[in-house]
Amino acid sequence: MVMARHWYSSSPVVDGYPLLDEPGFWPAYLADLSEGLPPEVFGADAGDADAMLDELQDPAAWPVFTVPLTGGFTIVVRYNSGEEFTTTDYFLTYPAWSQDLVLASDDQDRIGPGLCWPELAALVQAPADAVGIADPHVRLLLLLPVMGDTAVPEEGVAAVVRALVAQGAPEASEPLARRLLQGHPMWGAQDWWFDTDERTRVCEGDHSPRKTPLGGHLPEQQRAALEACLTPG
């Protein structure tokens, strides 16, 4: 599944950035990953979470969130709300591309996961000239649904706890962090390995777009820049 950017150009897209500070945002945004848990585990009120979920799924206003990366790449999170259901698409974009790479999508095709833990950890820090979402805790939580990895280290759990607490969750948020790190219910946590020939990580998940090397069709310079931005350190 590859969606051209112009597919959204005639849609009611709105900037989601102002929603990040609204009460109830995180339990609404991470509702699929935390299904069955009350909003209070995020430090939020149930009424606020319900109201935010309605706002995120409003057919008249589709929120979009922009996460700038190094090398000119960007991850764009786009809500897509029809009359019957809402899906969330996670695109990897680059100015020279006419079509973007889909990292994950919870539509009927169920595409994901699109990132492993080392890659997500590498994306937490925004580039110095970032225009978009720069807060490392917000970036981590916003991209968490894209990630599905069976080998998340304990430091990863601690990082998610810190992000949750920074966004208003109780200090004792380790159980919530571990739940969120189990992956999106549509694709879950998967095994990853590093392909030394292609110089990139590859996912074993049946629904992952990373079963084949990411950006294998790209010019060598772009592909090297992409791998650099996904590499820790």
CA atoms of 99 and 76, how far apart (whole Å): 13
Task: Return the pLDDT at 3.
Answer: 44
Q: Which of 191, 233, 232, 196 is nearest to 213 (CA)?
A: 196
Task: Return the pLDDT at 5.
Answer: 43
Task: Return the pLDDT at 8.
Answer: 57
Q: Which are the contacts of 91, defined by CB distance < 8 A and separation ≥ 6? A: 3, 75, 76, 78, 100, 101, 102, 103
The CB density around residue 123, as the number of other CB atoms within 10 Å, is: 24
Looking at the chain, how many residues does it have?
Answer: 233
Task: Return the pLDDT at 11.
Answer: 76
The CB density around residue 29, as the number of other CB atoms within 10 Å, is: 27
Task: Return the pLDDT at 1.
Answer: 34
Task: Return the pLDDT at 218.
Answer: 85
Statement: the pTM of the whole predicted model exceeds 0.85: yes
Task: Return the pLDDT at 46.
Answer: 97
All structural domains of the chain with their residue ranges: 6-229
Task: Return the pLDDT at 2.
Answer: 39
Per-residue pLDDT of the chain (233 residues; tens, 9 = 90+): 334 344 555 678 999 999 999 999 999 999 999 999 999 999 999 999 999 999 999 999 999 999 999 999 999 999 998 767 899 999 999 998 888 999 999 988 899 999 999 999 999 999 998 888 999 999 999 999 999 999 999 999 999 999 999 999 999 999 999 999 999 999 999 999 999 888 889 999 999 999 998 887 888 888 888 888 898 76
